[in-house]
Amino acid sequence: MTAAVIGISSGLLIIFLFQIFKHLDKTSVYGLILSGIGFLYVGYVWMDVEDLVVNSIQAVIFLLIAYTGMKKPWFLAIGFFLHGCWDIAYPFLRNPGLIPPHYDIFCSTLDFVIAIYLLLINKKLSFKIHHC
């Protein structure tokens, strides 16, 4: 439960901080975050070759999703949602002993908070564009 509370709080803190820095390109910021979180797993599992390969592929996939999301922002929401799903599935698919305890819960809740926020922002932008 603590990991979920910290994940939700961290997600909200990230959103709040980047709302304060209005001069930053939010699409780029969230794209960089998404690309970075995929590579965290690579750093955790570098000692196991099989997990390293799987996580390197996963990291590159999220890098490509983030890159696409920098051109099509709604893709970022999908990317964060998919990464949250990866976090939840990871302990069932790979060796959970290689990642920090409760990281799956922490990271998935953070990812889902940001995904929801990005989805709402994109919906709001889409609404303004279509109904101006």
For residue 80, give the nearest of 15, 3, 5 by alpha carbon. 15
80-121 residue pLDDT tens:
999 999 999 999 999 999 999 999 999 999 999 999 999 998
Residue span of the structural domain in which 106 resides: 2-130
pLDDT of residue 22: 85
16-37 residue pLDDT tens:
999 999 899 999 999 999 999 9
CA-CA distance, 99 to 73, in Å (whole number)? 30
| Structural domain count of the chain | 1
* Burial of residue 22 (number of CB atoms within 10 Å: 0-12, 13-18, 19+): exposed
pLDDT of residue 69: 94
Mean pLDDT calculated for residue range 2-13? 97
User: What is this structure's pTM?
Assistant: 0.90
40-67 residue pLDDT tens:
999 999 999 999 999 999 999 999 999 9
